[in-house]
């Protein structure tokens, strides 16, 4: 009996949820390594030089919007009748929590590390906020729909990767900025899923949440009307 209890306690220290943070930790660690004068940093310079040589003056703004696509897909799929893992209320709460964690982590890094951008615009290059946002959204979409189809999650990550690549083509970030941002984004969403159940219980207890979500059209603009009670 004592042996069984010991085994259960050991397992409780390292649950699958914690092991899932290994990949984002590796991604962010890669970015941290690039802050020194080493091969990783030299790769940053080589890739940036090649991109600027082959695509001088490249500039698009689609990455400003593409980062949000996986998050929008969550609502679009729900409205289309494809049910997600969580309700719209819980899903939205997790999404907001994820973005809050990501925002704090990203801007702490930007001001703390003060790395200069490739285009010398400012010293807020590391980590990439667009990449962090895109990968946080992609992981959120993956968490909500991986039981429906893993291809939905793959699509979200494809969009997130495209966002990161465009940030480099636009000469706004180094490769290591993007990789570190991906790690921050993924970890932020995983952390949000980990702490949300306890946070929800703390805020609303065992009360049921009722809500309605309806499409609206006002002043030639399409939107959504949300109402809920606790």
Q: Dihedral of CA 48/49/52/53: which sign?
A: negative
Q: Which residues contact 213 (CB under 8 A, 6 or more apart)?
A: 79, 88, 224, 225, 226
Q: Which residues contact 8 (CB under 8 A, 6 or more apart)?
A: none
Helix axes of 69-79 and 88-113: crossing angle, nearest 10 degrees: 180
Map out the domains of the chain as residue ranges. Answer: 16-229
CA distance 93 to 95: 5
Provide the terminal-to-terminal Cα distance of the chain, rounded to the nearest Å.
Answer: 44
CA distance 185 to 199: 20
- Strand ranges (DSSP E) for the chain? 210-218, 221-229
Over the stretch 25-63, which tens digit does the pLDDT of each residue have?
999 999 999 999 999 999 999 999 999 999 998 999 999
| CA distances (Å), origin 78, targets 87, 197, 222 | 9, 21, 17
- Give the residues across from 229 on adjacent strands: 210
- Local structure of 224: helix, strand or coil: strand
**pLDDT tens-digit profile, the chain (230 residues):** 444 434 434 344 356 678 899 999 999 999 999 999 999 999 999 999 999 999 998 999 999 999 999 999 999 999 999 999 999 999 999 999 999 999 999 999 999 999 999 999 999 999 999 999 999 999 999 999 999 999 999 999 999 999 999 999 999 999 999 999 999 999 999 999 999 999 988 887 666 555 555 445 455 444 445 555 55
The tokens for 44 are: 């940053």
Full-model pTM: 0.85
């Amino acid at each position: 009996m004592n042996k069984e209890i010991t085994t259960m306690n050991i397992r409780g220290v390292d649950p699958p949820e914690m092991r899932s943070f290994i990949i984002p930790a590796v991604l962010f660690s890669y970015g941290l390594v690039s802050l020194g004068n080493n091969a990783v940093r030299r790769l940053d310079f080589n890739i940036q030089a090649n991109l600027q040589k082959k695509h001088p003056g490249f500039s698009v703004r689609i990455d400003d919007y593409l980062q949000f696509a996986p998050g929008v897909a969550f609502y679009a799929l729900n409205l289309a009748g494809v049910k997600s893992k969580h309700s719209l209320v819980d899903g939205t709460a997790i999404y907001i929590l994820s973005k809050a964690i990501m925002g704090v982590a990203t801007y702490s890094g930007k001001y703390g590390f003060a790395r200069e951008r490739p285009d010398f615009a400012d010293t807020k290059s590391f980590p990439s906020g667009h990449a962090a946002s895109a990968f946080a959204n992609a992981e959120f979409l993956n968490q909500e729909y991986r039981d429906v189809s893993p291809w939905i999650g793959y699509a979200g990550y494809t969009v997130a990767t495209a966002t990161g690549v465009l940030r480099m083509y636009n000469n706004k970030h180094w490769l290591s900025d993007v990789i570190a941002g991906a790690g921050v984004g993924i970890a932020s969403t995983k952390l949000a899923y980990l702490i949300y159940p306890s946070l929800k219980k703390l805020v609303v207890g065992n009360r049921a949440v009722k809500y309605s979500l309806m499409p609206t059209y006002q002043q030639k603009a399409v939107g959504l009307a949300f109402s809920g009670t606790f």
